[in-house]
């Protein structure tokens, strides 16, 4: 079960859904990919699986309603990694003030361009302890890759060949421990039977292992 939350941003408000299981061992903030939102079915499925493993989750919109309307026309804000990373940082800061998750170690889960935003946020926020990327574009994090010291898991579909190569190159630049896992037969969106469940299992293993520190 999740509850709606409202986060403050520089240009308005961001909607979010916070889910906290009993005796949570950590909190994972989701950074969705290009053209998506907190209602992404794939991210919601992963979040539900994490909560079953005792990890609290925050699914949030990275753009305000007005920005979403602009992005639908121009498709430019979804690639503004600096803006998206700042929204992730603000979300971590604000949600950790809530009593139900106060003191929990924080991880970030990013998909597509959201993975770059998560990595940029992790590079500048000592509160973040682990990052997982699903079909992400970590290469878009640029120079921030050299400053990411937290354990980072990069999950890529075996059929997503171009993104797989980008992840290999980006992973070699990460300053902390990292692992690249290829899900055989999976495409970019992990729509194949069992592919998303494997993503959820891998992410759960990573966060349960690394969030407690």
pLDDT tens digits for range 60-96: 988 888 888 887 888 778 788 999 999 999 999 999 9
Angle at the Cα of 147 from the Cα atoms of 142 and 11, rounded to 5 degrees: 65
Q: What is the pLDDT of residue 126?
A: 93
Q: Note the pLDDT of residue 79.
A: 81
Confidence of residue 120 (pLDDT cuts 50, 70, 90): very high
Residue-range domains of the chain with CATH: 3-210 (3.40.50.1820)
CB 158 within 8 A of CB 150: no
Exposed/middle/buried for 52, CB within 10 Å: 0-12, 13-18, 19+? exposed
Please give the model's pTM, rounded to 2 decimal places.
Answer: 0.94
E-state strands within the chain: 3-9, 12-19, 26-31, 55-60, 106-111, 128-134, 152-157, 178-183
Q: Quote the mean pLDDT of the chain.
A: 93
pLDDT in tens, 141-185: 999 999 999 999 999 999 999 999 999 999 999 999 999 999 999
Cα-flanking dihedrals φ and ψ of residue 36, to 5°?
-115, -175
């Amino acid at each position: 079960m999740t509850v709606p939350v409202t986060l403050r941003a520089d240009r308005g408000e961001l909607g979010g859904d916070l889910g906290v299981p009993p005796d949570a061992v950590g909190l994972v903030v989701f950074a969705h990919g290009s053209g998506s939102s907190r209602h992404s079915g794939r991210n919601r499925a992963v979040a539900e699986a994490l909560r079953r493993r005792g990890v609290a989750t925050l699914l949030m919109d990275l753009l305000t309603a007005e920005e979403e309307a602009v992005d639908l026309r121009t498709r430019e804000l979804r690639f503004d990694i600096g803006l998206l990373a700042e929204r992730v940082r603000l979300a971590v800061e604000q949600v950790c003030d809530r009593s139900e998750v106060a003191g929990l170690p924080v991880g970030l889960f990013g998909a597509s361009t959201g993975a770059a935003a998560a990595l940029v946020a992790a590079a500048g926020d000592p509160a973040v302890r682990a990052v997982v990327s699903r079909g992400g574009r970590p290469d878009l994090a640029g120079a921030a890759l050299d400053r990411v010291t937290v354990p980072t898991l990069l999950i890529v579909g075996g059929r997503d060949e171009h993104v797989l190569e980008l992840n290999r190159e980006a992973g070699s630049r990460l300053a902390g421990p990292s692992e690249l896992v290829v899900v055989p037969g999976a495409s970019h969106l992990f729509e194949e039977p069992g592919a998303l469940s494997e993503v959820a299992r891998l992410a759960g293993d990573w966060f349960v292992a690394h969030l407690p520190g």
